[in-house]
Structure 1
Amino acid sequence: MNTPERIDPSTVAGEREMLESWLEYHRETLALKCAGLTEKQLREASVPPSGLTLIGLVRHMAEVERAWFRRTLAAEEAGPIYYTDDDRDGDFHPGEGDTWDEAHTTWRAEIARARALASGHSLDDPGAGRRDRATGHPYSLRWIYLHMIEEYARHNGHADLIRERLDGVTGE
């Protein structure tokens, strides 16, 4: 696996560039939390009693990228990758045959698709897919970007704890 390259977001960029650069920053932060670990370490739930693993977080974020950009923004018929009706948290539960290479490749492919879909929309464009259950309003690309930054930031905190317990590596 190549060493992820994380670029600090500009402090003076316009809104779209700022949102996109913060999302990229958080995507690469998760990649950095996973860099240099063995397959066994990536699958280890190191913060008991939580069952969270780094591979599970990456699989989850592949599902999240897919849900918000493909299903919500673009209204694509993109079914789940890892979860099922029988295991709604299947993204967090990799089986013995599931590998880091597959999870990482899938996650990166979902990110690439998300970037491509977002590039054709303005921040104010409403998504063509899923709508807010309470209001019935569509989600704008701006809302999706902000939500994705929040989602990554929260899970990067989890990843930081998992990584520190695995090998003592800390950092932002």
Structure 2
Amino acid sequence: MTTEPQHLSPTWADDDGRVTPPLVGDERELLTAYLDYHRETFALKCAGVPVERLSETAVPPSGLSLHGLVRHLAGVEQWWLETQFAGNEDKPLHYYSDDDPDQDFERLDGDFAEALAVWRSQVEISRRIVAEAPSLDATGIHKGSGQPVSLRRILLNMLAEYARHNGHADLLRERIDGATGY
């Protein structure tokens, strides 16, 4: 006899507003659908947390917080898609400088709503860049090596980044208020 797992803490509902990625589709459709699914999963992990707890580093000794993660992911979106792929180096990087490379996690100045708005805006820029790219084989320049980097490779990197940080957000959220989910 199979029984459903018993949850002692609140969980997200199956109808949480995320669009389930398709079971079939071309490579671009599947990659972008899964990336959007991970983006919205991250947003859910942050939703409903009392504002005074969003900057809390709730899983010691880690210095991660939901506020820091949203700032970091805004920078990741900008760095990989806008800067390296699209070649737009005109605007300063979000929450990063050579003099203060860890400010996304360590200097949580500004409020979470502002950081969330920056992240959402950067996600929209990323979506536009991906939609306008002629193919997954289109390339930008990988800043670390000076070599071409394909949009396909960047999207795979973005998926890995969100999957990793959604795991971090899971732990943080569960420690903050007991909420669990996927």
Amino-acid identity (%): 50
Counterpart in the other structure of 1:137: 147
Can you list the C-alpha shifts for 1:70-104, whole angstroms capped at 9, x where unaligned? 11111001322212233211011233x41011100
Out of 36, 55, 70, the residue aligned to residue 43 of structure 1 is 55
Out of 17, 32, 35, the residue aligned to residue 23 of structure 1 is 35
Q: Is residue 110 from structure 1 mapped to residue 104 from structure 2 by the alignment?
A: no
Aligned 1:1-172 pairs, distance under 5 A = 5-77=17-89, 78-95=91-108, 97-121=109-133, 122-127=135-140, 129-131=141-143, 133=145, 136-172=146-182
Partners of 1:94 and 1:57 in 2: how far apart? 12
Report how far residue 131 of structure 1 moved. Answer: 4.6
Counterpart in the other structure of 2:7: none
Report how far residue 25 of structure 1 moved. Answer: 0.5
What's the TM-score once normalised by structure 2's chain length? 0.86
Can you list the C-alpha shifts for 1:15-49, whole angstroms capped at 9, x where unaligned? 11100000000000110000001111111110001
Q: Greater relative contact order (Cα 8 A, min sep 6): structure 1 or 2?
A: 2
* Paired positions, count: 165
Q: Secondary structure of 2:173's partner?
A: helix
Report how far residue 13 of structure 1 moved. Answer: 1.5
RMSD of equivalent CA atoms: 1.4
Partners of 1:109 and 1:65 in 2: how far apart? 10
Contact 1:71 1:130 in 2 (8 A): no
Can you list the C-alpha shifts for 1:116-141, whole angstroms capped at 9, x where unaligned? 111111111111x33552xx431111
Partners of 1:12 and 1:120 in 2: how far apart? 22
Which consecutive unaligned segments of at least 5 residues does structure 2 have?
Answer: 1-15
Structure with bigger gyration radius: 2
Can you list the C-alpha shifts for 1:123-170, whole angstroms capped at 9, x where unaligned? 11111x33552xx43111111111000000000000000000001111
Partners of 1:137 and 1:85 in 2: how far apart? 21
Contact 1:70 1:117 in 2 (8 A): yes
Q: Which deviates more from structure 2 when the two are superposed, residues 36-45 or residues 155-164?
A: 36-45
What's the TM-score once normalised by structure 1's chain length? 0.91
